[in-house]
Structure 1
């Protein structure tokens, strides 16, 4: 039966991605717990640095997403010569971006920390050094994301999973070792935690270089173009990555504004919000993984000239991803408060967090629909729609609704999350509608100087 074959294929791609994303989330949590022993000021600095890094990543992430869907289409079309050429151009562009990030870290890390963190960053001189090292790690990280985009484009989600496991295990281990002087190493405090991030990303980059230029060379001649430049392909990649990067950045900024609004409600309300968001990341991970799977499968089938099979695989991916989210949501709904108690002993915080988790448990299905069908649309190359919709939904719906519910209607944390999920429901349904209203028979492989039809 087709559905059984499709589901096996989808799971073979999605499960390694779930493991990869889960490891990244877990390592971030463990790193924060480890450095938390240095005190509240350090926690504040790490939190501010994470916000800065997330927004920087969002801004530069578009090129990895672009390589992912373009290579998937070229792979499906059996034109990997073009896929390698495009990846080479993308690596050249990203290498330039990495230099910009390195310079930003060297010259402006302290100023950026003071600007974003305000008084929270003023109590620890090592904060600027920590953020500077995080910029160095980010310079490696955006190159890793391009390589991961290539691997996923050819249907290989196991290599990114393996590299993520190694990278994040190193980060956690050496955060502990270098922060506190354990396992026979010297004690470096907070900068040691920064160097652990850099080590993980650098080793991940070495792994990417090995798999791409050595393991895959025989099959795809990857060393034929280590760094390359084709003007028309560069224009396409810059245009597409600009749109996808701006889309991610718009969402990250709107989420940052939402968090700042919630912070006005007080420390306990903000703590409950952060606990609930951390728990809901259990649902975000399969949503991201199945969204990435949709990009791979839709892009490859478009390349093969099988648009209706692409549509069917996108649908099957959404169905299977929704089943995962409903299973996770059921557990979260019935165990909301006990789960929240794991994070805090403060009754107000865990009761409020439990209420937010219950609100989110099944509504997160719409966040899933957003990721599943946005992933499918990326596979078709419909990036302009995703950018415009993200801007409208983020700044004309989400931010105003959050402001209204918190500052005008004074609904507190619950009102904030009602606005969050109103935004996700509307966004998810809009993207799903676009997916099914697409004229699939007109969708073609994205070519430089030409637009795919929708």
Structure 2
């Protein structure tokens, strides 16, 4: 088949580090990092567009609706942690196969990861629908907010299998060095979500479905995205294609994916559980504080963009470098990515500090929410350097398959540092929402230090998948 032949072409792999030749110089490495990170940044920006659309429309439906969409999103993120397990495993193993010039193995890995994603999506849907009422009550949300949050969750949860397929398929493409396809797919998802959300729940909508319409719009858009990912992988491209003949379950291969991915999934699960506890800390400050927290997170998500993009580049290039047996090239790519992320996220931190009130004002007209959200964003500006280093170094470690270490560091940092510091400053010292965000600052500082130290040690170079 024609796409199989194209997979053999060295130019198709997107690897800056061909086997058995000297590694690229720093300038060439920077160009490769930027070429991978750029589409990943745009993809994340588009992904944020889905959240921003929901937050904007929910904010104009009332403070309770905004808080409810935030609570529903917390549970969605908890379920997505399981999808992330397969995504990380697929990225690491596909990247190694690409580095070793083994397209057949890359296709088999992707096939098994997608099968696992569908099964996890069904399980996640059942979990969300059954645990939602209890979880929202446990977080201390007011009864009116709980009812609206459950309505939103019921409309979005049916798309969890498709969402898992979308996430894992995009992760495999990134591992192959293809960040353009996920970016293009997310462009379609964002435009579809925006059109559906405005049609179902916008101010001029004839339906006026409220948060139910927002959930249905997100579900429909992500289902379309999953279909596009499947079409792209089935058709094949210059980097990755699904095999035409493959056992329904390859236990050995699936076990390899899970061996790498499960620590990452456990990391994300513990992270999301901690964030739910963090939500409990903040809901104790009142509905206005929680609404401000949700707006602040969405505004700060803009500053995640460089960190996310350069983490993707570091993960992909580290995995490919190890597959090509050129670990020095992976080290170089990660250091370049870290420097570029620091520069961009530092600049965005200044923007957050100066433009906080105006940015929060886009989402709400409540003066109390605006004041608290702007104060939180000033803390967010201080977080940016540590966040940049944490993202990039942890991305490189995951790309190498060093996921047990990232699990350990994240679990210790967020449970022993972020939560106690947040509770101390927010409640015991009475600093409110800005005090809670100081816990976030302490958490990222610890993670940046420990991830950087691990990367410098070179232990990731000896990981065997």
TM-score when normalising by structure 1: 0.88
Distance, in Å, in 2 between the alignment partners of 1:195 and 1:409 is 41
User: For residues 211-264 of structure 1, what are the alpha-carbon distances to aligned partners after superposition, in whole Å with 9 as ceiling and x for unaligned?
Assistant: 100133x87552334564222222222232221111112112222222321222
User: 2:312 maps to which residue?
Assistant: 292
User: 1:204 maps to which residue?
Assistant: 225
Deviation larger for 335-344 or 275-284: 335-344
Maintained 8 Å contact 1:366/1:424: yes
Of 123, 148, 171 in structure 2, the residue corresponding to residue 100 of structure 1 is 123
Maintained 8 Å contact 1:110/1:131: no
Of 233, 237, 254 in structure 2, the residue corresponding to residue 234 of structure 1 is 254
Taking the TM superposition and a 5 Å limit, the aligned residue runs for 1:226-375 are 228-375=248-395
Q: 1:227 to 1:210 in 2, by over 3 A?
A: farther
Of 437, 443, 448 in structure 1, the residue corresponding to residue 462 of structure 2 is 443
Taking the TM superposition and a 5 Å limit, the aligned residue runs for 1:380-395 are 380-395=400-415
User: 2:189 maps to which residue?
Assistant: 167
- Cα displacement (A) at 1:86: 1.6
Distance, in Å, in 1 between the alignment partners of 2:396 and 2:254 is 23
Distance, in Å, in 2 between the alignment partners of 1:238 and 1:377 is 16
Give the CA RMSD over aligned residues. 2.7
Q: 1:234 to 1:118 in 2, by over 3 A?
A: farther
SS at match of 1:61: helix
Of 404, 408, 426 in structure 2, the residue corresponding to residue 406 of structure 1 is 426
- Cα displacement (A) at 1:178: 2.6
SS at match of 1:223: coil
Maintained 8 Å contact 1:247/1:390: yes
Deviation larger for 421-430 or 1-10: 1-10
User: 2:34 maps to which residue?
Assistant: 11
SS at match of 1:402: helix
Q: Does the alignment pair 1:119 with 2:170?
A: no
- Cα displacement (A) at 1:325: 0.7
Q: Does the alignment pair 1:415 with 2:432?
A: no
User: 1:27 maps to which residue?
Assistant: 50
Q: 1:219 to 1:375 in 2, by over 3 A?
A: closer
Distance, in Å, in 2 between the alignment partners of 1:415 and 1:179 is 35
Distance, in Å, in 1 between the alignment partners of 2:323 and 2:92 is 10
User: For residues 176-196 of structure 1, what are the alpha-carbon distances to aligned partners after superposition, in whole Å with 9 as ceiling and x for unaligned?
Assistant: 11336968x866554333322
Distance, in Å, in 2 between the alignment partners of 1:270 and 1:199 is 28
- Cα displacement (A) at 1:38: 4.4
TM-score when normalising by structure 2: 0.86
Distance, in Å, in 2 between the alignment partners of 1:15 and 1:221 is 23
Report how many residues are paired.
441
Distance, in Å, in 2 between the alignment partners of 1:34 and 1:354 is 20
Task: In structure 1, list runs of 5 or more residues that go unmatched.
Answer: 448-454
Distance, in Å, in 1 between the alignment partners of 2:216 and 2:368 is 37
- Cα displacement (A) at 1:309: 1.0
Distance, in Å, in 1 between the alignment partners of 2:159 and 2:387 is 29
Q: 1:358 to 1:122 in 2, by over 3 A?
A: closer
Maintained 8 Å contact 1:91/1:227: no
Of 65, 89, 94 in structure 2, the residue corresponding to residue 66 of structure 1 is 89
SS at match of 1:222: coil
Distance, in Å, in 2 between the alignment partners of 1:334 and 1:106 is 41
Q: 1:407 to 1:83 in 2, by over 3 A?
A: same
User: For residues 298-357 of structure 1, what are the alpha-carbon distances to aligned partners after superposition, in whole Å with 9 as ceiling and x for unaligned?
Assistant: 111111100011111111111111111112122223334444444455555444433332
Q: Does the alignment pair 1:135 with 2:171?
A: no
Distance, in Å, in 1 between the alignment partners of 2:376 and 2:202 is 36
Of 396, 401, 407 in structure 2, the residue corresponding to residue 376 of structure 1 is 396
